[in-house]
């Protein structure tokens, strides 16, 4: 039940925004009354925070596993391609709407997940740092800026997948290409 409540809340946030995500709306979606939610959670904040943390954690592990499942000596381009694909599929896939919630949250709440987001960004920085070491990435590129830059672009993907009608694969390919070329891939 706890999970169903989280799912309901996440769905409302993604589809209608944080404003529309009232305790009564969430309760209605799981066929309950607002007050009953307080049996499972001590506050609305706890619900949102759990959605956020669970979402980032899931994303982190999925992308990390994807990278690790490749042979260590796999070319940089292949790793990036896989990672981008993993990131994107986490955003557009079914039952994986968690991360998309983030966009709709008020700043006060977003700040609570800063540490986890930082951890996720580090995953990408490590990936690219290895690319630099391997001589596949232009060392002049400032990773501290590039990573949030292109992650920012990626996080918008669901929005314009719907708008442009492009498939998830098309988008993944394009995003990967842009990114690899952008960092001056040498191979």
- The footprint of a copy of itself (CB under 8 A) covers 16-20, 104, 106-108, 141-142, 144-146, 148-150, 152-157, 159-160, 163-164, 166, 170-171, 174-175, 177-179, 181-184
Whether residue 124 contacts residue 96, with contact meaning beta carbons closer than 8 Å, is answered with no
Select from 3, 15, 17, 24 the one that contacts DNA (CB under 7 A).
Answer: 24
Q: Closer to a copy of itself by CB, 59 or 157: give it.
A: 157
CA–CA dist 88, 104 (Å, integer): 18
Q: Report the b/e string of 174-183 with b at 16+ CB within 10 A.
A: ebbeebbeeb
Q: Pick what 39 binds: a copy of itself, DNA, none; C-beta below 5 to 8 Å, kind-dependent.
A: DNA
Closest distance of CB 99 from a copy of itself, Å? 14
Residue with tokens 């990435």: 137
Residue 177 is a binding residue for DNA (CB under 7 A): no
What does the alpha-carbon distance between residue 4 and residue 37 come to, in Å, rounded to a whole number? 11
Number of alpha carbons in the 13 Å side-chain half-sphere of residue 62: 17
Nearer to DNA, 87 or 104 (CB): 104
| CA 46 – CA 72 distance, rounded (Å) | 39
Kindly tell me which residue out of 11, 29, 44, 50 binds DNA, with binding defined by CB under 7 A: 44
Residue 40 within binding range of DNA, rule CB under 7 A: yes
Tell me which residue of 187, 67, 75, 168 sits closest to 124, measured CA to CA.
67
Binding at 60: pick from a copy of itself, DNA, none (beta carbon under 5-8 Å per type): none
Under the criterion CB under 7 A, does residue 7 sit at the interface with DNA? no
159, 88 in Cβ contact below 8 A? no
The answer to the question of residue 35 lying near DNA (CB under 7 A) is: yes
The contact set with DNA (CB under 7 A) reads 1, 21-25, 27, 31-36, 38-40, 42-45
């Amino acid at each position: 039940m706890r999970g169903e409540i989280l799912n309901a809340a996440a769905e409302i946030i993604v589809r209608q925004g944080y404003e529309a995500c009232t305790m009564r709306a969430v309760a209605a979606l799981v066929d309950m009354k607002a007050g009953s939610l307080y049996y499972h959670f001590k506050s609305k904040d706890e619900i949102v925070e759990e959605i956020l943390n669970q979402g980032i954690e899931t994303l982190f592990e999925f992308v990390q596993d994807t990278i690790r499942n490749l042979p260590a000596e796999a070319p940089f381009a292949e790793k990036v391609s896989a990672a981008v694909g993993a990131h994107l599929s986490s955003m557009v896939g079914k039952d994986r709407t968690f991360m998309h919630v983030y966009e709709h949250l008020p700043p006060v709440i977003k700040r609570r997940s800063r540490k986890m987001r930082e951890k996720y960004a580090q995953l990408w920085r490590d990936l690219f740092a290895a690319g630099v070491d391997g001589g596949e990435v232009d060392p002049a590129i400032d990773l501290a800026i590039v990573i949030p830059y292109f992650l920012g672009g990626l996080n918008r993907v669901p929005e314009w997948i719907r708008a442009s009608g492009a498939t998830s694969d098309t988008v993944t390919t394009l995003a990967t290409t842009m990114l690899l070329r952008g960092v001056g891939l040498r191979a």
